[in-house]
Amino acid sequence: MTQARPLAVVTGARRGIGAGIAIELASRGFDIALTDIEATGAEETLAAIASRSARGRLFAFDLGDIDSHADIVEQIAAWGGPISCLVNNAGIPVARRGDLLDVAAESYDRVLDVNLRGTFFFTQAVARHMLASASAHPRSIVTVSSVSVEMASVERGEYCLSKAGLGMLTKLFALRLARDGIGVFEVRPGVIRTLMTEGVAATYDQRIADGLVPMARWGTPDDVARAVASLASGQFSFATGSVVNVDGALSIPRL
Q: Active-site residue numbers?
A: 159
CB of 110 within 8 A of CB of 156? no
Look at residues 153, 147, 165, 162 and name the one whose alpha carbon lies nearest to residue 99.
Answer: 153
Strand-pairing partners, residue 35, are 11, 59
Give phi and psi for 27, each to the nearest 5.
Answer: -65, -25
| CA–CA dist 210, 221 (Å, integer) | 23
CB of 115 within 8 A of CB of 163? yes
- The residues near 199 (Cβ < 8 Å, ≥ 6 apart) are none
- The residues near 66 (Cβ < 8 Å, ≥ 6 apart) are 117, 118, 121, 122
DSSP assignment of 173-225, as one string? HHHHHGGGTEEEEEEEE-SB-SGGGGGGHHHHHHHHHTTSSTT-S-B-HHHHH
